Structure formats: structure tokens, C-alpha cells
Amino acid sequence: MAKLKEVLFRKIKEHRPRTQSLLKNSSDVRVGEVTIGQVIGGARGVRCLVTDISYLDPYEGIRFRGKTIPESFAALPKYPGRAYPSVEAFYWFLLTGDPPTQQEADELTREFVSRRPLPQYVIDLIRAMPRDTHPMTMFSAAILAMQRESLFVKRYNEGLKKDDYWDPMYEDCTNLLAKIPLIAAYIYRMKYRSDIHIPSNNELDLGGNFAWQMGFPEPCDDVARMHFILHSDHESGNVCSHTTHLVASALSDAYYALSAGMNGLAGPLHGLASQEVLRWIMNVRAELGNKIPSEEEMKKYVWDTLESGQVVPGYGHAVLRKTDPRYTAQREFCLKHLPDDPLFKYVDLLYKVVPDILEKQGKAKNPWPNVDAQSGVIHWHYGLTEWDFYTVLFGIGRAIGVLANIIWDRALGYPIERPKSLTTKMLEDLASNTIRLEDIPAD
């Protein structure tokens, strides 16, 4: 058994009694109550999911396995000679809760390399799609097409014990994670780089090889490592994480589940915001004559956006109530590596004016920037200017977290997800005290 799988299996065996004991002894303990506002309002704040891989505090932001972003970066071994850890080392950390040693990280990188090769039919499928298809559609379709490779399905059909479900799930998830950067790079080079492709460099880790196959020199390898890790996980309630978990809860395999999650990420209120931010800034730039606007000019543009009924992309969040630490981590990178970049100056200016305006408008619960407000500027600076592709970059990163989560879902035997619906009439009757909650059967 590979080292990561061995460590993971030990962790799974240690963890299982905790879940079993909660179910056996504390099933009826309440963790909250649900209001009509939450039922109609997208289940905001309803505590009904469990994950140990990350936790999102509204004021502090994300913690991966209990560690903040700076603590996570500090705890992991750096990719040799570079400033950031490898994605493989981070995957180990998310799966097991402990950082790997340098040697363990290196071994896992080699394991990932052996899982890289893409089936030819995936390339054929991507090529068969009209060239103007959105890269997220190609990405999601390619993931789904590989479903026939699922070891989980094969072993399940042979008759697999429930306790062993996690094992082929681990194989599927790790295979997928190793392959998706190659799929993404293929889509990118086909669509935007004259269909000229760069073979995989088996000496490099996932992030390094991705930058290599995309055709971007150093420090884009570190940009890729940083970007993928920052976007990896944001606990389980966001659309793509929840979707991946939900689909996997039906014992659909990792290919079905990840493809579904990516379709959720493709929405403008979610991952597509990274592309929307760049498009929006480019519009400001064009409208304001390609110069850095004054604060007053920028304020006017933001108000115009709001008054035309649009959202300011890259600002606001369903859970966060302060500046997203993923934004801060990328801002620090920009201040170090690209402080004079004209687009960064726009983003910097927006940070000065938007929160105040959103507060004055009084609608958004969180006026602060989220992860998407900053990421596109870094891509653009290093020459990745095709913003349609930005959500695919988000998707590769997010796959690390959602795949780690569904392995643990299987390890802990989480059941098929099935919340309960009510009718509008029932809500009206509850609101007017015509019926009592006890009159509605729970399930």
C-alpha cells in the first residue's frame, strides 16, 4: 500500500469510533434551529454538514485542518528550491491532518506522475466540441467522460464491503487529481495557443508541470501551487463542494461527483466571478480611457454598476464577514512581485472604494473582497489573459478539497443526503400559527 494510503487508513480507523459514538449516543442533541428566512434563503447558516478538512469562520476566514493560510504554508515542506509547497504535499495534509515530511511529499509527487497519462478518448472528446465552447464545459465534460475508468464502480459491482468503499474512492480521486491539470492545459493550448501542445514533464510536481504544459515560465509554477492551494477548500456548504458531496452521497463515483461540482463552480455568483472581475475591470479601463482612474471616477463606476442592477464581482460572501484571507494572501504576493502592475493598481483602488460604497448601499451583508477579486490580476500579469479560463484554474484547486472530502465521506459511511421540503402553504400556516411544527411529520 502506498504511504499516503497507509497513513490515511490509520487515521480513518482512529476517526470512525468518534462518528459512531456521536450517532449512537448524541443523535438527538440539537445543533441549531431553522427559520423560514433560512428555508427560503438558500439554507444560509443552517448547520447540517460535517467536515474536518476545513472550517470557515466568518471573521477569521478559512482554516485548513485547523491551520490558517499562513500557518498551513509554514507547516508544509516547500517544493525543492521553490517558495511554495507542492499540491501533492497539501493533498496529504488535507487527507491526513498532518503535514508530510519532505520525503513523503516527494514520494507522493512521483506517485502522482505515474497517474498522469490521459486516455486518448478524452482528448478526442475535447477536440470534438466546438472550439468556442466555454473551457469549463470542456473541463467538466472531460471529467465526466472518464467515468468509465472508475475503480469504485468496478469494485462495487464485484461486491465491496461498506468499510472498504474509501479505498477505490481514494484511487479514483487521486487519479482524477493527477489528470485534471493535464486536461486543463490541453484545453488551454488547443483553444488559445494555436493547438500546439507541450508534453508533460515528469520531473515536475503537479503545479510545476501545469505551468510547464501551459507554457508559462517561473515563477508561474509557484503561482500555480499557491493558487491551487488557496482555492482548495472552503468547508462544505459552498455550491461546488456541496454538490460534489451530494452527488457522491448517492454512491455516484468521483467522476460523476466532481463533474457535477464543477458545473456549480461555473456560475457567475460562484467560481465564474474570477472571470467576471477581469471582464468588469477591463470595461472600467476601456471606459475610463486606459488610465488609472481617480478615486472619484472609480466610485462613480462602482455606483453605476450597482444602479444598473449588477453585482460588483469579487465582493461579498455568503459566510465571510471580513476581507477574505485568500484575497490577502494573493494581495501580499502582488505587493511583492507585481506592485507596479496597472491592473493591480485598479484592484488596489477598488479595495479602497468598494467596501464603503457597498456599506452605503446597505444591501450586501459583507462589503469586503473575496478570493476572486485578486486572482485574475496575477494570471493576467504573467500573460494568462484569456479570462474565460480562470474558472478552470479555480476548479483544479477546488478539486483538491472536494475530492479529499468525498474520500472521507466514504470512509465514515455518510448516508445519501436527503433534506426535507415544505410547501409555501405550510410555511404560511406556521407563520400564522395555524399549524404547529409538530403537526408536520419530520420525514
Nearer to ligand FAM, 244 or 366 (CB): 366
The helix or strand, by DSSP H or E, that contains position 56, with its residue range, turns out to be strand 54-57
Please give the residue whose beta carbon sits closest to ligand FAM in the complex.
Answer: 316
Q: Is 242 a catalytic residue?
A: no
Nearer to ligand FAM, 179 or 331 (CB): 331
Cβ-based neighbour number of residue 432 at 10 Å: 8
Binds ligand FAM (CB under 6 A): choice among 370, 374, 375, 391: 370
Pair type for strands 54-57 and 61-64? antiparallel
Nearer to ligand FAM, 7 or 364 (CB): 364
Binds ligand FAM (CB under 6 A): choice among 142, 169, 178, 312: 312
Task: Give the shortest CB-72-to-ligand FAM separation in angstroms.
Answer: 19
Task: Give the shortest CB-290-to-ligand FAM separation in angstroms.
Answer: 25
Nearer to ligand FAM, 312 or 411 (CB): 312
Cβ-based neighbour number of residue 42 at 10 Å: 11
Positive or negative, the Cα torsion across 324, 330, 333, 338?
Answer: negative
With cell 403537526, the residue in question is 439
Q: Using alpha carbons, select from 398, 370, 416 the residue that is nearest to residue 54.
A: 398
**Which ranges in 231-366 belong to alpha helices (H)?**
239-249, 254-265, 273-287, 295-307, 325-337, 342-361
Task: Give the shortest CB-276-to-ligand FAM separation in angstroms.
Answer: 7
Binds ligand FAM (CB under 6 A): choice among 228, 315, 346, 387: 315
- Long-range contacts formed by 416-425: CB under 8 A, 24+ apart: 416/249, 416/250, 416/251, 417/245, 417/246, 417/249, 418/443, 419/43, 419/48, 422/39
Q: Is 197 a catalytic residue?
A: no
Of residues 371 through 430, those in contact with ligand FAM by CB under 6 A are 371-372
Positive or negative, the Cα torsion across 175, 179, 181, 184?
Answer: negative
Task: Give the shortest CB-360-to-ligand FAM separation in angstroms.
Answer: 12
Nearer to ligand FAM, 99 or 314 (CB): 314
Instruction: Answer yes or no whether residue 313 interacts with ligand FAM by CB under 6 A.
Output: yes
Interface segment toward ligand FAM; rule CB under 6 A; list 104-112, 270-278, 331-339, 408-416: 270-278
Instruction: Answer yes or no whether residue 273 interacts with ligand FAM by CB under 6 A.
Output: yes
Binds ligand FAM (CB under 6 A): choice among 143, 260, 334, 364: 364
Task: Give the shortest CB-381-to-ligand FAM separation in angstroms.
Answer: 20
Task: Give the shortest CB-1-to-ligand FAM separation in angstroms.
Answer: 36
Q: How many H-runs (helices) and E-runs (strands) does the chain carry?
A: 20, 2
Interface segment toward ligand FAM; rule CB under 6 A; list 64-72, 265-273, 381-389, 434-442: 265-273
Instruction: Answer yes or no whether residue 271 interacts with ligand FAM by CB under 6 A.
Output: yes
- Report yes or no: 86 and 224 within 8 Å, Cβ to Cβ: no
Cα distance between residue 236 and residue 218, in whole Å:
33
Q: Is 372 a catalytic residue?
A: yes
Cα distance between residue 347 and residue 331, in whole Å:
9
> Which residues form the catalytic set?
270, 317, 372
Binding site for ligand FAM (CB under 6 A): 238, 269-271, 273, 306, 311-318, 363-366, 370-372
